[in-house]
Amino acid sequence: MISQYGFPGARTYEDKFFRADEMRPNVFKISQPWFKEGELLVYCFLIIGEKAALVYDSMFGYGNLRKFCESITDLPLILVDSHFHGDHAAGNFDFDSCYIHPYDMPGIYRSFANSREDLLARAKATAVPEFADEITIDDICFPKPMKTYPIYDGDVFDLGGRCLEVIHVGGHSPGSIMLLDHENHLGFSGDTCNNDTIVRGLPGDPIEVYLEGMRHLAEHTGDIETLFGGHEDFPATIIGEMIELLEKVVAGTDDRAEYTVPFPPGSQSTVTFGAAMKSFYRRVDGKDANVQYSPDYIKKEARGPRILDGSEPGAYRP
């Protein structure tokens, strides 16, 4: 776990909906400080080069993230989604275009809510009381057709003076991707590898597929020191810990500890974790990596085909 940190002279920007803290030179972590305590916090990142700036994830769609980023930099913005989930990609539709792995492409059109009004109600329920009345329907970003470009493992975004390599790690979602900044020893990880990595349904991939992805990632992260995550940041040692844990899950020798968690939002479910915890989400042995999984969704063969039946914009796996 890494606590909030910056460096001497680090800049901070704020508007009504967003706050950007400069974690490293020209790397801003964007948050929404008006959330009530206990709500799921999500972070996105603005990474500024010499000729373009990259926005990694677009959050819940509460407020206009594009306008906020444009208040920080005049450079062209490249929006890249870590994956399709509604806490990371719902703000896409205020941008002109986005880059996302093809497996996750249909999912961006599936919001966390059924209508813009429902998403507004959700934003208000998330906010501290004094801020709830400030949010109006015009502040809510909702799906509409947008230019969506595929990205693949090994692609490189060249921002001018800073390059970011795309690494595909299916698991949490089939099209989850990390971005690696080798020169500055940084990774941007979304929900791909953390202390509560959800790899069950949603739809995601079986543990064996996730393990393959993490082994592939580890081949590229020898020079990476820090992972800036979508919900929390970690030292890159979490990658090796996750591989070790997933190998135990596949072998059936992990802790297989059951906990009741407040997920999906607004409800509770009892789920299996690979490593036993002393408190949410802190492992008994002090390591960072942990995974939520379904014991019947470990083997590669458990993954069915993607089904596209035209009934909704999202392809899904049963």
Are 185 and 225 in contact by the 8 Å Cβ rule? The answer is yes
Q: At closest approach, how far in Å is the CB of 231 from Fe ion?
A: 6
Q: At closest approach, how far in Å is the CB of 251 from Fe ion?
A: 26
What angle is formed at CA 300 by the lines to CA 171 and CA 110, rounded to 5 degrees?
Answer: 40
Comparing CB distances to Fe ion, the nearer of 72 and 100 is 100
Among 22, 87, 94, 196, binds Fe ion (CB under 5 A): 87
191 binds Fe ion (CB under 5 A): yes
268-271's contacts with Cβ under 8 Å and 24+ in sequence apart are 271/200
Q: How many CB atoms lie under 10 A from the CB of residue 21?
A: 18
Comparing CB distances to Fe ion, the nearer of 48 and 202 is 202
Beta bridge partners of 157: 164
Comparing CB distances to Fe ion, the nearer of 49 and 143 is 143
101 binds Fe ion (CB under 5 A): no
By CB under 5 A, the residues from 219 to 248 that bind Fe ion are: 230
Q: Label residue 183 exposed, middle or buried (CB < 10 Å: 0-12, 13-18, 19+).
A: exposed
Comparing CB distances to Fe ion, the nearer of 87 and 208 is 87
Among 24, 29, 66, 85, binds Fe ion (CB under 5 A): 85
196 binds Fe ion (CB under 5 A): no
Instruction: State how far the alpha carbon of 304 is from the alpha carbons of 119, 205, 301, 307, in Å.
Output: 31, 10, 8, 9
Q: At closest approach, how far in Å is the CB of 183 from Fe ion?
A: 27
Q: Are strands 53-56 and 77-80 parallel, antiparallel or unpaired?
A: parallel
Q: At closest approach, how far in Å is the CB of 57 from Fe ion?
A: 9
57 binds Fe ion (CB under 5 A): no
Q: What residues make contact with Fe ion under the rule CB under 5 A?
A: 85, 87, 191, 230
